[in-house]
């Protein structure tokens, strides 16, 4: 997967959490909703036909935020955001999220057999998003064969790591742990 990273950042004035307070999932969802409504910002993201593109944004109260472009057929693969809570919203196009409705052990495992009934699927057309708690395992896809999608994401605390998984049937396998220096 090719990707490009712009060092520019953008500031969107969020309704800030109380001074000194960590942003909640609701604060992050409010931020991504308002940021996605900024048509000029969304249009400024360079889109690559080959791979995802992204620009780092200033999130509320010390959170990490990203504007991400998704070419047709692209996706993240199965992953989590470790100890961070987060929110994301589709600004244009449509994304699909597959997630697990179960809490995984945090460390010390490589392969896990998932129970039946833990799979969730959610369509996220433009204007739709969601927030999620710590250790939320999901994959996000642009299943369109013709159209880019653009989304806004925010995490708090800033991502300490991302765990990447492979999945075959009901077997989830930890493949890699990435740290911020791997994607910034």
Question: For 18-37, what is each residue's pLDDT tens digit?
Answer: 666 899 999 999 999 999 99
Asked if 115 and 59 touch (Cβ cutoff 8 Å), the reply is no
Residue 107: the pLDDT is: 74
- Output the pTM of the full model: 0.86
Q: What is the pLDDT of residue 174?
A: 94
For residues 165 and 69, give the distance between their C-alpha atoms in angstroms, rounded to a whole number.
22
Query: What pLDDT was estimated at residue 105?
Result: 81
Residue whose tokens read 């999620």: 132
Give the distance from CA 48 to its chain's centroid: 18
Cα atoms in the 13 Å half-sphere on the side-chain side of 68: 24
Report the Cα 70 to chain-centroid distance in Å: 12
């Amino acid at each position: 997967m090719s990707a490009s990273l712009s060092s520019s950042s953008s500031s969107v004035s969020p309704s800030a959490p109380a001074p000194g307070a960590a942003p909640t999932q609701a604060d992050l969802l409010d931020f991504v909703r308002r940021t996605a409504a900024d048509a000029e910002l969304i249009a400024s993201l360079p889109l690559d036909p080959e791979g995802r593109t992204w620009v780092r944004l200033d999130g509320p109260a010390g959170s990490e935020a990203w504007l991400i472009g998704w070419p047709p057929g692209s996706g993240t693969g199965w992953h989590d955001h470790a100890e961070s809570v987060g929110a994301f919203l589709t600004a244009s196009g449509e994304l699909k999220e597959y997630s697990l409705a179960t809490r995984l052990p945090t460390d010390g495992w490589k392969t896990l057999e998932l129970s039946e009934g833990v799979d969730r699927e959610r369509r996220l057309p433009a204007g739709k998003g969601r927030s999620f708690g710590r250790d939320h395992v999901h994959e996000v896809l642009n299943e369109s064969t013709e159209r880019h999608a653009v989304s806004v994401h925010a995490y708090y605390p800033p991502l300490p790591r991302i765990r990447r998984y492979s999945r075959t049937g009901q077997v989830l396998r930890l493949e890699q742990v990435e740290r911020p220096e791997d994607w910034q």
